[in-house]
């Protein structure tokens, strides 16, 4: 179920949408459907069942080579795209209104947060939602407890150390660590 409701088009175009906007309730409608399916997902008896339910949440056929361990949390799911042979460990949280793309062969450790949403800094506009997409490129490895913030890209073959906070793009073939994360090593 990919929503083409105008509020999502406005958010994806870069508009800050205030909570008071008449169309804001559309986000809640999609979230309610996702919450209902999430109960099933997080009570799935096995990986194939979890993958099937995640396919319903995302509206995308999740490839059988992908593994998802529960619990798993996503607020909408319809803006998440997951490639082949992806591993998502337990207790991850995806806020995907801005769009999350996870390419093939990606490893995601436990308790990773991928957040495409935020709020303006200016206090008069803070009760608005702004979104930016996240791209995790092929063969990246996201360590346990890492946080990936809106609008960043994780480079191909790169490693995000456990607990790192990613606030800027990560180049290909490197290891980043820290808060905020910085390149600590190049990978040959």
pLDDT tens for 94-124 read 999 999 999 999 999 999 999 999 999 999 9
The reply to whether omega before 44 is within 30° of 0 (cis) is: no
CA distances in angstroms from 49 to 53, 72, 102, listed in the order given: 6, 13, 20
Domain ranges of the chain: 6-186
Report the chain's mean pLDDT, rounded to a whole number: 96
% the chain with pLDDT above 70: 98
- pLDDT mean over 132-152: 98
**Residue 11, pLDDT above cutoff 90:** yes
% the chain with pLDDT above 90: 97
* CA 56 – CA 76 distance, rounded (Å): 11
What values do phi and psi take at 23, rounded to 5?
-85, -5
pLDDT in tens, 30-41: 999 999 999 999
- pLDDT mean over 168-186: 98
CATH 2.160.10.10 fits 6-186, yes or no: yes
* CA 112 – CA 94 distance, rounded (Å): 8
The reported pLDDT for the residue numbered 3 is 57
- CB count within 10 Å of CB 117 equals 17
Kindly state the DSSP code that residue 170 receives in the 8-state scheme: B
CB 95 within 8 A of CB 114: yes
CB 159 within 8 A of CB 147: no
Token pair of 153, please?
Answer: 């890209």
pLDDT in tens, 62-103: 999 999 999 999 999 999 999 999 999 999 999 999 999 999
* CA 133 – CA 153 distance, rounded (Å): 9
Catalytic residues: 119
């Amino acid at each position: 179920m990919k929503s083409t409701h105008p509020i999502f088009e406005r958010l994806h175009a870069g508009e800050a949408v205030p909570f008071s906007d008449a169309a804001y309730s559309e986000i809640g409608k999609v979230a309610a459907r996702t919450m209902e399916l999430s109960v099933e997902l997080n009570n799935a008896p096995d990986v194939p069942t979890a993958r099937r339910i995640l396919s319903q949440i995302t509206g995308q056929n999740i490839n059988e080579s992908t593994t998802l361990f529960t619990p798993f949390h996503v607020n909408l799911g319809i803006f998440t795209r997951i490639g082949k042979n992806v591993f998502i460990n337990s207790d991850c949280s995806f806020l995907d209104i801005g769009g999350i793309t996870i390419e093939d062969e990606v490893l995601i450790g436990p308790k990773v947060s991928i957040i495409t949403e935020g709020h303006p800094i200016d206090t008069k506009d803070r009760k608005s939602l702004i979104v930016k997409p996240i791209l995790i490129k092929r063969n990246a490895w996201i360590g346990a407890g890492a946080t990936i913030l809106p609008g960043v890209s994780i480079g191909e073959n790169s490693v995000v150390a456990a607990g790192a906070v990613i606030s800027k793009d990560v180049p290909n073939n490197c290891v980043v660590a820290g808060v905020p994360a910085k390149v600590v090593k190049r990978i040959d």
